Amino acid sequence: MILLMFLSIIIIIISNIIMILSMILSKKSFKDREKCSPFECGFDPKSSARAPFSLHFFLITVIFLIFDVEIALIFPMIYTFKMVNLIIWSKTIFFFLIFLLIGVYHEWNQNMLNWTN
C-alpha cells in the first residue's frame, strides 16, 4: 500500500514538473501585429475575416448528431433481443424510446425543428 502511494506521488510530481516546464518554455509574445493577423501572408484584410454563420444551422446539426448517436444505441438493443430476458429488455427499450420522444417533443415545442422562422 505504501509503495502504491509512493508511486502515485512520484507520478503526480513528475507530471506537474512536465506541465510547468511546458508552460514556461511555450511562452510566446503577442506584440507582433503581423503575427497576430489571421492571414499567413501578413497583409491587412480588405473585408471582415469572419464569415457570417447561421446559428440555426448549427443547432440543427447538433440535434442531428444527438439523434444519430441514439440510433447507434438502438441497434445493439435490437441485436440483443433474443439473448436477454424479454421483460427487462422491454422495459429498457420502452424507457429509452420514451426519453427520445420527450426530447423530440421538447424540440418541437421550442420550434427547433423548423428550418425557417
Query: Tell me: the pLDDT tens digits for 27-50?
Result: 665 555 555 555 556 555 566 656
Residue 16's pLDDT is 94
Residue 82 scores a pLDDT above 80: yes
Residue found under cell 424540440: 107
Residue 27's pLDDT is 67
Nearest to 36 by CA among 24, 44, 26: 44
Give, as one character, the DSSP assignment of residue 24. Answer: H
Please name the residues in contact with 103: beta carbons below 8 A apart, sequence gap of 6 or more.
66
Higher-confidence position of 56 and 75: 75
Sequence spans of domains, the chain: 2-36, 55-109
Which pTM was predicted?
0.47
Residue 32's pLDDT is 58
Nearest to 62 by CA among 51, 73, 70: 70
Nearest to 64 by CA among 104, 96, 95, 99: 104
